[in-house]
């Protein structure tokens, strides 16, 4: 039986939209197999995923903070959050929509927009729409003109846990004016345990079911070209050790790339990726209906070897470079500026629908 409990994560949190002081609620989803998921209403954020290893030892495999101050800190790299109105990058913070230039906020070096702007969906206080036997449904209404985007967008994010250790996340949205919408969940995973750091990450194997990546410039802005993965360091179609693969990339880097997922029509969902951590036996499979996935190996987390201070995480953790990986299912970055990419434009009367399943298990 899946059980859902609710408590208060924080009180007196200033709502960035209404300026009211809100309580931030926390929901804990638990199944009969030792798996539990916690999420909070700030940013519709997954704060914890606990799952057993092959010997039955339970550990938290997502990065996060103990308190609201951690999530509000400018050192928080979007841990676990629902990202919107448009995840990833928009070149120059501008695009054409129905013949008009739309200028949105540029929250990265005043050059481009990342993850929805200065106050994205990750900083909103989401409302509780429903508590279900296996999970919770949250909603955020994003006002017309916010961060420069046209139209009032009403988004929902539902989270449900199954007995077979699947976390089902469904993100949907409607709008009253044409606008781009591209949501994702930004969980950071380390199947060795959230405190295991780069050494734990390097032990993982990774497999990504993709035919190409969207080529990018130095700022990770797509050029519009799709590069086949065949014969490159991005060919992860066969499970490969992540530590070895990271060494093949140019020094000081890692993966931070949108992979173009291979679908098998008419199936609406595709297996996107599988990560395994052989020492613990834990594995994670990601299945989604989205055409892309951003594979990110936490390259921009602090480089402690160069004297940068680690991010203080939950339970005394010290998070640093290569300490986790993200698999952010999405439509391609900067799609608004590339007609050859799947469109992110949502129009009145249409519904945006993004489904992603995170399935956890162990190999003995």
Binding-site residue set for beta-D-galactose: 88-89, 186-188, 256
- Sign of the torsion formed by the C-alpha atoms of 322, 323, 327 and 330: negative
Cα radius of gyration rounded to whole Å, the chain: 19
Residue 244 sits at φ, ψ, to 5 deg, of -65, -40
Give the C-alpha separation, 71 to 79, whole Å: 8
Give the C-alpha separation, 225 to 212, whole Å: 10
Residue 236 sits at φ, ψ, to 5 deg, of -115, 25
Q: Which of 324, 260, 268 is nearest to 293 (CA)?
A: 260
Catalytic entry in 194, 328, 338, 354: 328
The helix/strand count (H/E) of the chain reads as: 3, 29
Using the structure block, give the residue that is written with the tokens 């606008």.
Answer: 179
Query: Quick one: tokens of 94?
Result: 């501008």
328: annotated active-site residue = yes
- Partners of 175 in the β-ladder: 153
Give the C-alpha separation, 202 to 89, whole Å: 27
Report how far apart the first and last C-alpha atoms of the chain are (Å, whole number).
24
Query: Quick one: tokens of 44?
Result: 């519709």
Show binding-site residues: 88-89, 186-188, 256
Give the C-alpha separation, 350 to 331, whole Å: 16
Query: Quick one: tokens of 17?
Result: 């939209």
Give the C-alpha separation, 302 to 273, whole Å: 26
Give the C-alpha separation, 361 to 279, whole Å: 14
Query: Quick one: tokens of 294?
Result: 């951003």
Residue 267's alpha-carbon distances to 164, 178, 271, 286, in angstroms, are: 22, 28, 10, 15
244: annotated active-site residue = no
For Cα atoms 151, 156, 161, give the angle at the middle one, nearest 5 degrees. Answer: 165
Catalytic entry in 186, 194, 338, 354: 186
Query: Residues with catalytic annotation?
Result: 186, 328
């Amino acid at each position: 039986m899946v059980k859902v409990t609710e408590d208060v994560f924080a009180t007196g949190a200033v709502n960035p939209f209404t300026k009211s002081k809100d309580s931030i609620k926390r929901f804990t989803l638990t199944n009969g197999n030792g798996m539990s998921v916690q999420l909070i209403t700030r940013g519709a954020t997954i704060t914890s995923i606990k799952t057993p290893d092959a010997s039955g030892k339970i550990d938290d495999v997502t990065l996060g903070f103990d308190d609201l101050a951690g999530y509000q800190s400018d050192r928080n790299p979007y841990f676990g959050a629902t990202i919107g109105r448009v995840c990833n990058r928009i070149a120059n913070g501008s695009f054409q929509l129905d013949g008009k230039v739309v200028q949105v906020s540029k929250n990265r070096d005043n050059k481009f927009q990342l993850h929805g702007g200065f106050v994205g969906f990750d900083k909103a206080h989401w409302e509780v729409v429903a508590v279900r036997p296996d999970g919770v449904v949250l909603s955020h209404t994003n006002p017309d003109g916010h961060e420069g985007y046209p139209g009032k967008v009403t988004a929902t994010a539902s989270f449900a846990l199954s007995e077979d250790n699947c976390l089902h996340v469904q993100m949907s949205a409607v709008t009253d004016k044409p606008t781009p919408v591209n949501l994702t969940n930004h969980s950071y995973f380390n199947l060795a345990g959230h405190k295991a750091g780069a050494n734990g990450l390097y032990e993982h194997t990774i497999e990504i079911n993709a035919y190409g990546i969207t080529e990018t410039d130095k700022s990770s802005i797509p050029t519009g070209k799709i590069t086949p993965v065949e014969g490159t360091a991005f060919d992860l179609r066969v499970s490969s050790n992540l530590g070895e693969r990271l060494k093949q990339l140019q020094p000081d880097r890692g993966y931070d790339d949108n992979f173009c997922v291979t679908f098998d029509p008419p199936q609406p969902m595709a297996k996107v990726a599988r990560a395994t951590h052989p020492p613990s036996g834990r594995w994670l499979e990601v299945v989604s209906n989205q055409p892309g996935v951003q594979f990110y190996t936490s390259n921009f987390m602090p480089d402690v070897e160069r004297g940068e201070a680690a991010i203080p995480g939950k339970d005394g953790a010290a998070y640093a470079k290569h300490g986790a990986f993200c698999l952010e299912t999405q439509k391609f970055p900067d799609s608004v500026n590339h007609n050859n990419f799947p469109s992110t434009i949502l129009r009145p009367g249409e519904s945006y629908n993004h489904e992603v399943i995170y399935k956890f298990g162990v190999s003995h």
